[in-house]
Amino acid sequence: MSNLFLLLLHVYTVSKIHGQYEGSGNTWSSYNEVVPERTRYSPQLDYRNPRWCHTLSLSNGEVTCFSPRGGNYRSTLGTRCQLSCDHGYRLLGRTSVQCMPNRRWSGTARCREIRCHVLPLIDHGAYSCTEGVAVDSRCDYTCEKGYEIEGDRTRTCLDGGDWSGTEPTCTDNDPPTIKCPPSRVRLAGPGKRTAKVSWEPPVVKDTTDATLTDVTLTGQEPGSDFKEGVHVIRYKVYDQARNKAACKFIVRVEVRRCPVLKAPLHGYLTCSSDRNNYGAECEYHCEGGYERRGTQIRVCQLNRSWTMVAPVCVTMEINTDVRTAAALLDQFYERRRLLILSTPDNSNHYYKLQNMILQRAGCGLDLRHVTVIELLGSPPREVGRIKERHLNSEVIEGLRQALRISRSYFSMVLLDKHGVDRERFVYPTTSEELYSLIDTDLLEEDERERLEKNKDFCD
């Protein structure tokens, strides 16, 4: 019994010195209390132990080992293992390890998930991803209504932790819509050549802008007066992205017109407005020596016809069978000018010369509304006449007294339409001098215009 105890004590002491229990799988060392000096441990290498090192595993990765003793000895001493990570993971640590004599692997490693950065939001758009920020996650971009993608519509998280492509933008390429009011026709009112036309503003919409204010008008403003004819009104609008839309419509102003009136023979017209438009009034006038028969004013109606029937200008009837000079002059008041010629007798050489000049100037005198009255000789053979019509002796005497016309010598008196003495001549005068005096001092503005139009009539 004592011998067995001594044997066990010897074995225990040796084991403490070497610091190892075989088959325990753990290594430890300590100091022998009996022998104070340290003894270096030399493990007993066993290339046959299939689990010399612990079984190697790699989460989210793969371990590929090559043992000198074959595939069943994946953890034997000297076994070399290649470490790799699954798709989407990055290896941190050693790519290759070996089972060492100290029953440990020569290094460590782990697989960390590869993640891309979180994509930023884009203006007027959004994106959705299949796997968040993991590798192979696909993010699809969409834009708000009215905006279009410019750039990559899809981005994928790559193995390197970066996103494919570039960040897209949402661009407003959709123009606004604008609807103009319908075209319209307006009729000018009586006596007018314009019409006031109004309309509602155009209807504008945009898919992105709630309120569009950049609307411009080309043409007249609504509510203004439009002239006769066709007017094109254009509107255009821009949204915030400067996309443009435009529309147009027509404003047509009609002026109802009657046939153009012709001036009566030996007369003329004065018309209001545009002479023949709806509501225009035309007044008929006769030249000096003629008088109107018929209506004075005609009006253009909406049905494009004139009221009444056109009057005519007939030769003014001068009543020479009167007893006083005043009764005679009243017939010419405001209608004709008078040129009164007086001579002592028909043989007077001044009279003969002047009479010849006046006969040649007859057409020009008619254009200037001048009537010639002749007072010839002395009583009892004194004669007064207007062309071939003779005057009463009392009228002759009344003219001489009223106008202070002497029988003793040749003279001429020029009276205006109001019977005012405007010029006296004691010698014959040429037609040019007479015309110049009348045109400068006696004609009214409208008479000058008509004379200018008819100046070639007497040629």
Residue 296 Rama label (left phi>0; alpha psi -120 to 50; beta): alpha
> If you average pLDDT over residues 76-83, what whole number do you get?
91
Q: Buried b / exposed e across 105-116, counting CB within 10 Å, b at 16+?
A: beeebebeebeb
Q: 148 and 183 share a domain?
A: no
Q: 243 and 353 share a domain?
A: no
> If you average pLDDT over residues 423-448, what whole number do you get?
94
Calculate the alpha carbon distances from 186 to 20, 220, 250, 279 in Å.
Answer: 119, 15, 11, 16
Which among 317, 272, 325, 257 has a CA at the least distance from the CA of 293?
317
Which among 313, 255, 262 has a CA at the least distance from the CA of 280?
255
pLDDT at 15: 41
Binned at pLDDT 50, 70 and 90, residue 7 comes out as: very low
What is the total count of domains within the chain?
6
Binned at pLDDT 50, 70 and 90, residue 266 comes out as: confident
pLDDT at 316: 83
CA separation for the pair 391, 433 (Å, rounded): 29
Q: Which three-class secondary structure state does DSSP give residue 192?
A: coil
In which domain, by residue range, is 284 found? 267-315
- The answer to the question of residue 371 being in a domain is yes
pLDDT at 146: 84
Q: Which amino acid is at 290?
A: Y
Domain at 159, CATH number:
2.10.70.10
Which among 160, 122, 164, 118 has a CA at the least distance from the CA of 141?
122
pLDDT over 90 (residue 69): no
Residues 88-147: tens digit of each pLDDT: 999 999 999 999 999 999 999 999 999 999 999 999 999 999 999 999 999 999 999 888
The tokens for 193 are 């050549």
pLDDT at 49: 81
Binned at pLDDT 50, 70 and 90, residue 2 comes out as: very low
Q: 339 and 422 share a domain?
A: yes
Q: 190 and 295 share a domain?
A: no
- The answer to the question of residue 339 being in a domain is yes
Q: 438 and 384 share a domain?
A: yes
Binned at pLDDT 50, 70 and 90, residue 38 comes out as: low
CA separation for the pair 50, 244 (Å, rounded): 81
Whole-model pTM?
Answer: 0.53
Q: 282 and 395 share a domain?
A: no
pLDDT at 457: 74
CA separation for the pair 12, 32 (Å, rounded): 11
Q: 444 and 352 share a domain?
A: yes
- The answer to the question of residue 120 being in a domain is no
Pair 170, 144: CB distance under 8 Å: yes
- The answer to the question of residue 437 being in a domain is yes
- The answer to the question of residue 155 being in a domain is yes
pLDDT over 50 (residue 9): no
The tokens for 349 are 């050489």
**Of 37-46, 159-168, 360-369, where does mean pLDDT reach its minimum?**
37-46
pLDDT over 70 (residue 8): no
- The answer to the question of residue 260 being in a domain is no
- The answer to the question of residue 458 being in a domain is no
Which among 85, 82, 113 has a CA at the least distance from the CA of 95?
82
Q: What percent of the chain has pLDDT over 90?
A: 69
Pair 399, 373: CB distance under 8 Å: yes
Q: How many CA atoms lie within 13 A of 437 on its CB side?
A: 18
CA separation for the pair 178, 297 (Å, rounded): 51
Binned at pLDDT 50, 70 and 90, residue 36 comes out as: low
Calculate the alpha carbon distances from 243 to 143, 145, 237, 248 in Å.
Answer: 17, 15, 8, 17
Q: 337 and 420 share a domain?
A: yes
Which residues is 127 bridged to in the sheet?
141
Please state at what angle helix 431-441 crosses helix 349-360, rounded to 10 degrees: 60
pLDDT at 253: 97
Pair 52, 65: CB distance under 8 Å: no
pLDDT over 50 (residue 6): no
The tokens for 296 are 């004075």
pLDDT over 80 (residue 12): no
- Listing DSSP states for 221-284 in one string gives PTTEEEESEEEEEEEEEE-TT--EEEEEEEEEEE--BPPPPPPPTTEEEEESTTSSBTT-EEEE
Three state DSSP letters for 276-328 = CECCCEEEEEECCCEEEECCCEEEECCCCCECCCCCEEEECCCCCCCCCHHHH
Q: 362 and 431 share a domain?
A: yes
Q: Which amino acid is at 257?
A: R
Q: Computed from CA positions of residues 386, 389, 393, 394, in that sequence, does the dihedral angle turn out positive or negative?
A: negative
Q: Computed from CA positions of residues 269, 272, 274, 280, in that sequence, does the dihedral angle turn out positive or negative?
A: negative
Q: 132 and 147 share a domain?
A: yes
- The answer to the question of residue 259 being in a domain is no
> If you average pLDDT over residues 1-17, what whole number do you get?
40
Domain at 181, CATH number:
2.60.40.10
Phi, psi (rounded to 5 degrees) for 329: -65, -30
First-last CA distance in the chain? 182
CA separation for the pair 147, 124 (Å, rounded): 7
Q: 149 and 94 share a domain?
A: no
